[in-house]
Amino acid sequence: MVNVIGLGYIGLPTALMFASHGVDVVGTDYDTELVALLKSGKTTFEEEGLDVLFNEAVKKGIEFSTNYIATDVYIIAVPTPYDKLSKKIDTRYLLVAIKNVMEICPKGAIMVIESTVSPGTIDKFVRPIVEANGFIIGQDINLVHAPERIIPGNMIYELKHNSRTMGADDKAAGEKIKELYSVFCQENIVVTDIRTAEMIKVVENTFRDINIAFANELTKICRSDNMDVYEIIRIANMHPRVSILQPGPGVGGHCISVDPWFLVGDYPGLANIVLAARKINDSMPEFVLERVQSIIKEKEMTDLSRVGLYGLTYKENVDDVRESPTLQLLEAMDKHLAPALKVYDPFVKRDVVKNQYHDFDAFLNDVDLVIIMVSHDEIKENMNKLAGKIILDTRNICNIEGTYKL
Ligand code: SAJ
Task: Dump pLDDT digits (tens) for 311-325.
Answer: 999 999 999 999 999
Taking 90 as the threshold, does the pLDDT of residue 336 lie above it? no
- What is the model's pLDDT at position 326? 98
Task: Dump pLDDT digits (tens) for 52-87.
Answer: 999 999 999 999 999 999 999 999 999 999 888 888
Backbone angles phi, psi at 57, to 5 degrees: -65, -40
pTM above 0.85? yes
Backbone angles phi, psi at 232, to 5 degrees: -65, -45
- What is the model's pLDDT at position 239? 98
Extended strands (E) in 278-335? 307-310
User: Closest Cα partner for 273 from 222, 323, 207?
Assistant: 207
pLDDT band at 342 (very low <50, low <70, confident <90, very high): very high
- The mean pLDDT value for 289-315 works out to 94
Task: Dump pLDDT digits (tens) for 138-175.
Answer: 999 999 999 999 999 999 999 999 999 999 999 999 99
- What is the model's pLDDT at position 87? 84
**Which strands, in side-by-side order, build the sheet including 404-405?**
356-357, 342-344, 307-310, 369-372, 390-393, 404-405
Tell me if 285 CB under 6 Å of ligand 1. Answer: no
CA 122 to each of CA 102, 106, 135, 273: distance values in angstroms, whole numbers, following the listed order: 15, 20, 15, 26
Q: How many helices (H) and strands (E) does the chain have?
A: 15, 14
Distance in Å, CA 151 to ligand 1 centroid: 7
Distance in Å, CA 232 to ligand 1 centroid: 22
Coil, strand, or helix at residue 89?
Answer: strand
Distance in Å, CA 256 to ligand 1 centroid: 6
- What is the model's pLDDT at position 334? 85
Tell me if 174 CB under 6 Å of ligand 1. Answer: no
Extended strands (E) in 86-188? 109-113, 141-145, 164-168
**Which strands, in side-by-side order, build the sheet including 25-28?**
63-65, 25-28, 2-5, 73-76, 109-113, 141-145, 164-168, 189-192
